[in-house]
Structure 1
Amino acid sequence: MTVWTPLSHAERVLIYLSRIRVDKDSDPVPRDITQEGIAEAVGISRSHVPRTVKGLIEDGLIEEAKRHVRLGEKRVKVYFVLPKGLKKAREIEEKAMSRVVRAKIQNTIVEGMSLAQLEKAFHRRIDILRLSGEEEFIDLDAILTSGVTDFSDSPKVSIFLDREDALEKMKTFLKSRALVLAIYGAKGMGTSSLVKYFIQMLDDWNILWISLSKYRTLDQLMGRLTSFSKALNSDIDKILHTQTGSNVLVVFDGYFDVDEQIVEFFNSLVERTEGAKIIVTCRDSTPSYNRFYRKEHLEAGLVMEMTLKGLPEEESKILLGNEDIPDEALRRIFALSRGSPMILTMLREGDEEGLRRNTTFTNEEIRFLLTEARMKKS
């Protein structure tokens, strides 16, 4: 029998802080990142927080500062997760989600499945911070999020860095009257990873992810929507065009050179006043004849759009995974990669074939980049 071994206090704090994205220059800041806020969220006493965060600070995973929670009041200690901490938090979560456990749901015992497999099977997200201690079995009814989710077509997100501004814009979108958000980026710039990271933070939304590279015809796309609508005990029209869909979010990933019927379908979603929120990730080179909204839709607030750029140099270094890379080598890689997460990841993994297949670099440039990525300071 597999028994769930709880995360350490430090691991829980790190994962929690990795989900609270606050600009380090902000003042005031949310109470969430104070010692009191951390203690309440993670389930430890306030007196344990200083000891718990000490090791995280020493390991370069988080940073301590003093900020106001309310202007005019005394500044208090607050904590910001650093890029290295984001990477470590993701590794901890992935390892935890791969654990095979014994679980209980609706008075039924389920064995032989990992947390990630259970999450997929029951179309709910599992928050590992809700797992308390060493339990004979995991009570899924108590820890599954309330929203119905289907992320089966979504990409795996390994490391997510420096996208605070983009995440804030996405939060603004959910609160706005706009029902469509278009996110543009060059191939490999991380638009899919951004959206995947964002939706994993939403507990109460019903979320469907549709890959447009897999579902290429309107009939295939509608079939996917139909299946999800049935899981919500509803139908497509109600989900997309009425208040029934007010807590539904549909992600269409990989909008680029699509069928004309799909363009018309997306165009029909633009001028809605009710229904599901739609996020569309688009290639920045999407042909003009595939654009499904116009300037007046943006001006009227019916559609929001944003463009994702490359990572800054500091985060590019972290993604490369080489802390001892010489500054000049890093600058040369940064100049050629333009901070593309896809390129930096392939350089870290030494994926020469992937670079040939997915970039316009010459063979000579690829060999040069791979050599630079492995260099160490003397």
Structure 2
Amino acid sequence: MAKKLLTARERILLYLLNYASKDIDDYITPKGLTQDGIGEAIGVGRNNVPREMKRLLELKLVAQKKARVNGFRNRRSVYFLTSEGIREAKKLKEKLKNMYISVIDLAGNVTSIKMKDIPKKFGVDIISAALFVTKDKKLDLMDLLGINNRAVQVIEMDFKIRSFYGRKRELNMLKNWFKSQKKLLVVTGISGSGKTTLINKFVKEYLKNRNLIWFQIERWVNAADLIIKLGNFLSKIGKSKLERYIKVSFMGFEKELRWENAYQILKSDLRNEVLIFDGLENARDDVKDMIRRIIGMVDDTRELRIILIGKEIPQGIIPPNKMLFLEELILGDLDRDDALAFLLDGGKTMEEAEEIIEKYGAMPLVLELMAKNGNLRLVKRHFIENVIYSLAPNEIKALELSSIFRHSIKPNFLLLQGVDYPTIYSLINKNIFKEVKDDKLMVHSVIRNFVYQNMPSVKIKEYHYHAARYLEQEGEYLEAAYHYMMADRVAIASRVLMENYKKYILKGKIENVREIAMELLNRYDLSVSDHEWELYGILGDTYEISGDMDKALENYEKARDLSKHRDMDFFSAVVMEIADIHRKKGKYEKAKKELEESMKYIVNVRNKKVVARARYILGILSLYMGDTFGAEEHFSEALKLSESALDYEALGYAYQGLGILYRHTNSRKLAVEYFHRAKNYFEVCGNKREEAKSLGNIGLVYYDMRNEKEENIYLAESYFLQALKIFELIGDRWNIALAVERRPVILWLSIGLIIQQC
């Protein structure tokens, strides 16, 4: 131990100053005033304290009396400062206040500071600090706080390992990995293979002295949840920058985290910790991105180690340049001898144990449940049966109702089906249900799948129908369509999807809409085929917004051919989509021909919005083909039709077209005015995609006017960013590509102007 700055006598005086204002009472005297307590507090050996106390008594700086001490049966000698001793101690304290010392914090950072500023900076009082300052004027907070060998470990789902068999090879592999330069470990295996238990045992037996945090990844966990927990963990080991930054970010004006700043803090603070991410198959995209960024911090210069656990590890989560640090461990069955020992210790006979292994394999969780059950006849197919074996009838009903949901479930649905609150909370307490955000419930995926697969088909359809009606009333139309479909109510499912799919496409749920539409087409029969074209139209919309124009065209053409002479409003709308795709491909003649051939049908449709949009597309095509006069005629006709129909969306298209025309003819102020009108109409009717196009068009006009005013280039950049944000939100790849293609030019111009001003 390093030699202290103060003598033992000086440290005793300072230490006792803490008690100078306290009366020594026979019944409340603390142990800290005994010789043992004083020696322990100031770091002086038990044999040295009596000598120092004797000298202090002689100098009349300290007094002695017998008193009752907490924790001791008999009275003990206790010591306290005399009035002269208090004066000496205070004089010493004042002398120390202005002394500069070097403080080594819990993260190893060194700060030169006056002792009087230590309480504010580090939360340690001056006297406690002075007792531990070394001869070379250094204060190590690890030494002061007595945490030299105490690791901080945060494990979200910590549990006691009741039984552990085999896995010797795997444990040896883990120990070797920890000593190697491969700092990433991937542990995979099917559910029940013992991945979490194995790593838990490894942590508790071999990583006791390492700072460690274990994240349990669930579908409802987002990156913000993880970064907050990580900040809290780092704060516990003395690295509080991230936690402070998170608090400032969420309490500030923007109320959001700037992830790049957070990652920079992590890059500087993560040095020799162990991070464990369990349940990676549940990770959302933002969580995957966060983990990928943290993995990117692994290198040869730091001892940071990361363990990834899951049934499967998401593709691309490990950057290619970090593969050289990777070790993989795939868990399967236990060795036969270990599995037999497991079951025999659980009370099974050799014959029963061998039969279990033959039928169900040797996954640890399966073996544990088999060993507990004690009767093979009660185990039908695999271990999940044991989870529901002891459930009450009402609990089984609740589990069956919940198993039909793909995502979380609202308790209200169960209540409407006759499941009471005690049953719901019983399943929560048994960890079969888990409460998630928005007061919803989740069922473990393995349990849900097993229950669903073993329900009678009649009951499955009945429960899906109940769920569909409930979700439709709740306004969750996409899930309602899915459940109607699973209940074999294909016509109703198609109707619900057709009426509501656009709002989900604009929320970025393109794949979800496409999946249901394709499945409905597969389920169609003669009784419902009259509206098959609507589903092809939906598929066309999903492919078009995703940027796959060939597949979009293929589905639109099927929709057109099936709907002709059956649903003229729909037919007309699809023809316009086909023409628009030809336009995007640069086939203007073909697009115009497609539209003009169908105009005899389009002009007679009841929905004037369809006619107005047809005129809008014809106007765009005319403009692209050099016919400015014809374009103006079409746009003006579109405006007239829209105003007569009082349709906001149609008005949006009309003003959008006029704005494009006036930009083309260099009437830029008028173009901006009309684009703003279009943007407002699209915003009111909820057409986010066209609203974004209007914003982008305004940006283009300001870009055209970049030489008139310097600020125009900044306005162009601003409008492009607004448009791009909406396109990214809805997953509009075609327009994202256009915006990204245009934006760098404007961005570089704006940077150039800033540089010029500097």
Q: 1:240 to 1:186 in 2, by over 3 A?
A: farther
Q: Distance in 2 between matches of 1:291 and 1:190?
A: 25
Residue 340 (structure 1) aligned with residue 363 (structure 2): yes
Q: Normalized per residue, which structure has more helix?
A: 2
Q: 1:355 to 1:174 in 2, by over 3 A?
A: farther
Residue 248 (structure 1) aligned with residue 273 (structure 2): yes
Describe the SS at the equivalent of 1:156: coil
Residue 149 (structure 1) aligned with residue 153 (structure 2): yes
Q: Deviations over 1:30-66 (max 9, x none)?
A: xxxxxxxxxxxxxxxxxxxxxxxxxxxxxxxxxxxxx
Bigger Rg, structure 1 or 2: 2
Q: 1:206 to 1:296 in 2, by over 3 A?
A: closer
Q: 1:342 to 1:143 in 2, by over 3 A?
A: farther
- TM-superposed CA distance for 1:193, in Å, is 0.6
Structure-1 residue corresponding to 2:226:
221
Q: Distance in 1 between matches of 2:347 and 2:160?
A: 27
Taking the TM superposition and a 5 Å limit, the aligned residue runs for 1:134-173 are 146-173=150-177
Q: Deviations over 1:123-144 (max 9, x none)?
A: xxxxxxxxxxxxxxxxxx9999
Residue 260 of structure 1 is aligned with which of 282, 285, 293? 285
Contact 1:346 1:355 in 2 (8 A): no
- TM-superposed CA distance for 1:172, in Å, is 2.3
Q: Deviations over 1:158-183 (max 9, x none)?
A: 11121122122222222223332110
Residue 387 of structure 2 is aligned with which of 331, 340, 354? 354
One-letter identity of the residue aligned with 2:296? E
Q: Distance in 2 between matches of 1:170 and 1:341?
A: 19
Describe the SS at the equivalent of 1:256: helix
Q: 1:164 to 1:239 in 2, by over 3 A?
A: farther
Q: Distance in 2 between matches of 1:291 and 1:334?
A: 36
One-letter identity of the residue aligned with 1:173? W
- TM-superposed CA distance for 1:218, in Å, is 0.5
- TM-superposed CA distance for 1:214, in Å, is 7.8
Taking the TM superposition and a 5 Å limit, the aligned residue runs for 1:78-93 are none
Describe the SS at the equivalent of 1:188: coil
Residue 196 (structure 1) aligned with residue 200 (structure 2): yes
- TM-superposed CA distance for 1:251, in Å, is 1.2
Q: Distance in 1 between matches of 2:147 and 2:164?
A: 24
Contact 1:210 1:253 in 2 (8 A): yes
Q: Distance in 2 between matches of 1:150 and 1:165?
A: 27
Structure-1 residue corresponding to 2:179:
175
Q: Deviations over 1:272-324 (max 9, x none)?
A: 3136211111114x5x5x441267643xx222211112112222233335566
Contact 1:255 1:281 in 2 (8 A): yes
Structure-1 residue corresponding to 2:189:
185
Structure-1 residue corresponding to 2:318:
293
Q: 1:260 to 1:320 in 2, by over 3 A?
A: same
Residue 307 (structure 1) aligned with residue 303 (structure 2): no
- TM-superposed CA distance for 1:189, in Å, is 0.5
Q: Distance in 2 between matches of 1:239 and 1:340?
A: 41
Residue 279 (structure 1) aligned with residue 307 (structure 2): yes
Instruction: Identify unmatched segments of 5+ residues in structure 2.
Output: 1-39, 42-69, 71-144, 243-262, 374-382, 390-445, 455-758
- TM-superposed CA distance for 1:245, in Å, is 3.5
Contact 1:178 1:302 in 2 (8 A): yes
Residue 270 (structure 1) aligned with residue 289 (structure 2): no
Q: TM-score, normalised by structure 2?
A: 0.26
Q: 1:317 to 1:178 in 2, by over 3 A?
A: same
Q: Distance in 1 between matches of 2:264 and 2:289?
A: 19
One-letter identity of the residue aligned with 1:232? I
One-letter identity of the residue aligned with 1:334? I
One-letter identity of the residue aligned with 1:154? D
More relative contact order in 1 or in 2 (CA 8 Å, sep 6+)?
A: 1
Describe the SS at the equivalent of 1:227: helix
One-letter identity of the residue aligned with 1:258? A
Q: Distance in 1 between matches of 2:332 and 2:349?
A: 24
- TM-superposed CA distance for 1:360, in Å, is 5.0
Deviates more, 1:211-220 or 1:335-344: 211-220
Q: Normalized per residue, which structure has more strand?
A: 1
Q: 1:193 to 1:333 in 2, by over 3 A?
A: same
Q: 1:231 to 1:323 in 2, by over 3 A?
A: closer
**Paired residue total:** 221
- TM-superposed CA distance for 1:207, in Å, is 1.1
Contact 1:209 1:251 in 2 (8 A): yes
Q: 1:144 to 1:333 in 2, by over 3 A?
A: farther
Residue 213 of structure 2 is aligned with which of 197, 205, 208? 208
Q: 1:323 to 1:259 in 2, by over 3 A?
A: closer
Contact 1:145 1:203 in 2 (8 A): no
Q: Distance in 1 between matches of 2:357 and 2:187?
A: 23
Instruction: Please tell me the root mean square deviation across aligned C-alpha atoms, in Å.
Output: 3.5
Q: Distance in 1 between matches of 2:183 and 2:266?
A: 10
Q: 1:152 to 1:260 in 2, by over 3 A?
A: closer
Contact 2:344 2:350 in 1 (8 A): no
Q: Distance in 1 between matches of 2:225 and 2:266?
A: 17
Instruction: Identify unmatched segments of 5+ residues in structure 1.
Output: 1-105, 110-140, 364-378
Q: Distance in 1 between matches of 2:286 and 2:308?
A: 16
Contact 1:181 1:305 in 2 (8 A): yes
Residue 320 (structure 1) aligned with residue 343 (structure 2): yes
Q: 1:323 to 1:218 in 2, by over 3 A?
A: closer
Describe the SS at the equivalent of 2:277: strand
Deviates more, 1:145-154 or 1:221-230: 145-154
Contact 2:369 2:386 in 1 (8 A): no
